[in-house]
Structure 1
Amino acid sequence: MLPESTNGTGGTSGGLAVPMAWLCAEYLADEVLRAAALVAPGSLEYRAGLRALALTVHLAEDPDRPPAGRIDEWLRHTAYDRPWPPWVEERLAGRRAAGGGGPDLALAETAWRRLRDTWILAADLDGREDADPGCPVDEGEQIWLPAWKLGLPLAHLSLHLR
């Protein structure tokens, strides 16, 4: 994890800590989602995708890995068959236990809480059991989903379209 910066105090105590790692992850997520142009910026879906992708980028942070390898890793973490929520919980717990969280960890935990606790009425992305294989999602059939369940596929698809 990159060290946190301060507001010009050169890292001395008493300065305001700036969550640079989180802000960079959020900026990158915003750029990817805007470039994909799948949903309108500012919409609930967009915010869910932004938080899901920013969390993935932030928690999978490995500054030694080349950029292409990082994108592949983000794609793996956001894939449909991956257990993303347990991975997020595990990584957040690891950061808390290491004691190196600071304001980056606080923002990441807030994003996760919002994704987990906000529910959105949307098409059933898991589809019906008796659905036609050519059209597994009936957009007219809506259910309540936690925001991460809508944001994660949006993040994944946006990464593919980058």
Structure 2
Amino acid sequence: MLHRGHESTDGGELVVPMAWLYAEYIADELLRTGDLMPPTSFEFRAGRDALALTVFLSDTDGELSGIRVISQLENWLSLTAYDQPWRDWVHERMAELIDQAAKSDRPAPDLALAADAWRWLEETELLAPDLDAVPGGGMGLSEDDGPKVWTPAWQLGLPLGHLAIHLF
């Protein structure tokens, strides 16, 4: 969804990345409604970016609209489920969109923002509880005191986004 608007200073048209901004808004609202993490945390950002990518990339018709949000919840739940190859799906969809953008003469600011979010999710690691640690190995320690492991941001954000959709 591209919105063409005001003339830019170089004579070209300003293209507003409405589809990405709307996907990010939906993700933000779902996470805030779920009240799972403080909105200022890196975990929240990881959840928002993973969910925004899911919303943006699942819009194959290029018609993101508020009317369709409710009807898309089941699709987003299935895409973000634990047993789904979400990371592979993101790679495939991004490659498709990059290919389409290369063949088009139109700017793709939505795709640029989505690529930035994906890059951050893949390259950033967050310190998280080690879910593979031996149960009881911490001898009564709380989850915060237990073993931690550096985890790619998308691996933390994806289940957070999934849970936020579920709680909606």
Q: Same fold (TM over 0.5)?
A: yes
**1:113 aligned partner:** 119
Q: How far did 1:75 drift?
A: 0.4
TM-score, normalised by the number of residues in structure 2 = 0.82
Distance, in Å, in 1 between the alignment partners of 2:119 and 2:167 is 27
| Equivalent-residue separation in structure 2 for 1:88 and 1:24 (angstroms) | 18
Match of 1:74 among 60, 76, 79: 76
Query: Which residue number in structure 1 is paired with residue 53 of structure 2?
Result: 55
- The one-letter code sitting in structure 2 at the alignment partner of 1:43 is S
1-side partners of 2:148 and 2:125: how far apart? 12
Match of 2:15 among 10, 17, 23: 17
Q: Counterparts in 2 of 1:25-36, with a 5 A limit? A: 25-36=23-34
TM-score (norm 1): 0.85
Listed one character per residue, the Cα deviations across residues 103-130 of structure 1 (whole Å, up to 9, x for unaligned) are 00000000000000000010124x34x5
Deviation of the 1:154 alpha carbon: 0.4
Count of aligned pairs: 150
* Inter-partner Cα distance in structure 1 for 2:29 and 2:69: 15
1:97 corresponds, among 96, 99, 108, to 99
Percent of matched pairs sharing the same residue: 49
- Cα separation, 1, equivalents of 2:13 and 2:31: 33
Q: What displacement does 1:42 show?
A: 1.4
- Runs of at least 4 residues of structure 1 off by over 4 A? none
Distance in 1, matches of 2:29 and 2:68, equals: 19
1:120-159 matched pairs, under 5 angstroms: 120-125=126-131, 127-128=132-133, 131=135, 139=143, 140-159=146-165
Q: CA RMSD in A?
A: 2.1
2:139 is matched with none
Q: Which residue type is aligned with residue 57 of structure 1?
A: V
- 3-state SS of paired residue (1:16): strand
Unaligned runs of 5+ in 2: 137-141
Unaligned runs of at least 5 residues, structure 1: 133-137
The structure whose Rg is larger is 2
TM-superposition CA deviations, 1:61-111 (whole Å, max 9, x none): 144994433110100111111111111010000001112670000000000
